[in-house]
Amino acid sequence: MPTIKQHIILEQFKKAIHKDRLSHLYLFTGPKGSGKKELAFEIANALLLKKPNGATQLKESGHVNLMFIEPSGQNIKKEQIIDLQNEFSKTSLTSGARVYIIDEVDKLSTAAANGLLKFLEEPLSKQTIGFLLSDNPEQVLPTIQSRSQIIFLKPRSESELSAELKLEGIDAYLAEFLPYLNKDKAQVLNMAKSDQMMELANCVKNYHKTLLKKESIWLLFETKMGLIRSEKPLLIQFLELLMIYYLDLLKTKNKEIIAFEVFSDDYEIIANLISMEDILKHLKQIQTILYRLNYNINIEMALTQLVLELQS
């Protein structure tokens, strides 16, 4: 069985295929990273190829009985839906199921949406199965939703995505940090290639070492935090990770499951150095500066104030 996020739903679809009980149209919704496209291609594989790595083959090479549509530029255009109508009006060269997958169906142009509705109203073969994918189901036309069986997919948890990233050979620190900044696996894999993300990870590691060695946080920010001090988006990401870090210290005191396993050997030591009251105070201070960074504030002054409070 493929190791995908939505493997339980995939197994349910395989049972429905075996019993010939599939509906003609499904709408997969859920946030980025919930595995909508991955699931759709795995079901297509169960219908068309029935191979262990068939989903990957379908994505890369396609299939005569499969049509995949995604936005061309800002939206899905009328011509793309016309191509779908024309293709599925022909007699297939291969027997069996015929599958179409429309990614980001909420981005249909008005003309494309009208064309899709017309296509859905036409009598189709019982073996024609459609999968519509959307991160924003509220933006999908009600007339399309009403014709679909809607399935909401939960996103990957941070720990699940972290485990997948480690299997992909991603640095252990990045694999644990990045899922707290983005849950879309494809985007996270691209982020992992960035020198800035590695520098961001180093900033978190250096902060951890500074607490562990009871050294000066002020000196750390003066000597090793230049990048996050000059780049507001990186500063925001650093503070978001620092929130998780201090929450881990809180969880360590409460004997709960932590997020950053890479620091697990040292958390007990640091948690014994910082009182529960101070951890909660630091969390509030980080939260405050994160809120203020949404406005036009002097970043250097705000960061200086935070460092002074964290140092105390």
Structure confidence by residue, pLDDT tens digits, 257-266? 999 999 999 9
More confident residue, 123 or 68: 68
Structure confidence by residue, pLDDT tens digits, 163-178? 999 999 999 999 999 9
Percent of the chain at pLDDT exceeding 70: 99
E-assigned strand segments in the chain: 25-29, 66-69, 98-102, 128-134, 149-152
226 pLDDT above the threshold of 70 = yes
- The CA distance from 44 to 58, in Å, is 8
2 pLDDT band, cuts 50/70/90, is low
- Asked if 9 and 151 touch (Cβ cutoff 8 Å), the reply is yes
- Asked if 153 and 35 touch (Cβ cutoff 8 Å), the reply is yes
Q: Which of 103-107, 178-182, 225-229, 247-251 has the lowest mean pLDDT?
A: 225-229
Mean pLDDT over each residue of the chain, to the nearest integer: 92
> Which tokens belong to 63?
């299939």
158 pLDDT above the threshold of 70 = yes
- The CA distance from 274 to 114, in Å, is 62
- The CA distance from 199 to 222, in Å, is 15
> Which tokens belong to 24?
């003609």
Position 3 scores a pLDDT of: 59
Structure confidence by residue, pLDDT tens digits, 28-46? 999 888 889 999 999 999 9
CA angle 23, 25, 29 (to 5 degrees): 115
> Which tokens belong to 213?
């060695």
1 pLDDT above the threshold of 70 = no
Query: Of the candidates 219, 212, 203, which has an alpha carbon nearest to the alpha carbon of residue 272?
Result: 212
CA of residue 7 relative to chain centroid, distance: 17
More confident residue, 224 or 270: 270
- The CA distance from 31 to 45, in Å, is 23
Which residues, other chains included, contact 156 with Cβ-Cβ below 8 Å and sequence gap of 6+? 5, 33, 34, 35, 164, 179, 183, 185
- The CA distance from 76 to 83, in Å, is 12
- The CA distance from 174 to 197, in Å, is 8
- The CA distance from 247 to 270, in Å, is 13
CA angle 48, 49, 50 (to 5 degrees): 105
Return the C-alpha torsion angle 189, 191, 194, 200, nearest 10: -130
Position 304 scores a pLDDT of: 84
Which residues, other chains included, contact 310 with Cβ-Cβ below 8 Å and sequence gap of 6+? 217, 282, 285
